[in-house]
């Protein structure tokens, strides 16, 4: 297993992976267009050319970025791959000089193990709700906002 930056060749498989989680109500669906536009944000979990996980770090503002579209193939869950994807996003955030990383999640306990803390969604700038307004569950989706301060 290898974690690497996504390439244009990965996009169809990324969409299939992300949208399989969206079909279960765990993520927002992503169009091919969205994935191509945000390609530079994405890391993938690669097993000999097969996309088995995704995670994106999206810069929102000067000191704030979001971890989003975290997926790991169901057969690999619980083996630390999700943690590794998020940790690599955090490393990238540090390299970019970002001091705060947040996520909107249905699994806050997962993020708590990575030293994120729960915050009130109102603490996040309105800019982060750009995708949320397109969600059928908006505004009461039940996602929990978590944030981690980077040193």
User: What pLDDT is attached to residue 126?
Assistant: 62
pTM of the full structure: 0.90
Question: pLDDT by residue for the chain (151 residues), tens digit each?
Answer: 999 999 999 999 999 999 999 999 888 889 999 999 999 999 999 999 999 999 999 999 889 999 999 999 999 999 999 999 999 999 999 999 999 999 999 999 999 999 999 998 888 876 555 555 555 555 566 788 999 999 8
pLDDT digits (tens, 9 = 90+) for 14-28: 999 999 999 998 888
**Domains contained in the chain, CATH given:** 2-149 (3.40.630.30)
Contact 127, 60 (CB under 8 A): yes
Given the structure tokens 């169009």, which residue do they identify?
Answer: 31
User: What pLDDT is attached to residue 70?
Assistant: 97
* Residue 52 CB-half CA count within 13 A: 19
Per-residue CA distances from 76 to 12, 79, 91 (Å): 20, 6, 23
User: What pLDDT is attached to residue 52?
Assistant: 98
User: What pLDDT is attached to residue 94?
Assistant: 97
73: left (phi over 0), alpha (psi -120 to 50) or beta: beta
């Amino acid at each position: 297993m290898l974690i690497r930056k996504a390439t244009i060749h990965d996009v169809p498989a990324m969409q299939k992976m992300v949208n399989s989680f969206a079909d279960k109500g765990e993520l927002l669906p992503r169009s091919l267009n969205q994935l191509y536009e945000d390609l530079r944000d994405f890391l993938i979990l690669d097993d000999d050319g097969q996309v088995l996980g995704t995670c994106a770090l999206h810069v929102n503002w000067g000191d704030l970025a979001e971890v989003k579209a975290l997926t790991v193939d169901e057969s690999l869950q619980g083996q630390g791959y999700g943690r590794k994807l998020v940790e690599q996003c955090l490393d990238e955030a540090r390299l970019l000089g970002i001091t705060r990383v947040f996520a909107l999640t249905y699994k806050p306990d997962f993020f708590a193990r990575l030293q994120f803390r729960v915050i009130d969604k109102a603490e996040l700038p309105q800019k982060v709700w750009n995708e949320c307004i397109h969600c059928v569950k908006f505004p009461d989706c039940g996602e929990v906002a978590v944030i981690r301060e980077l040193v």
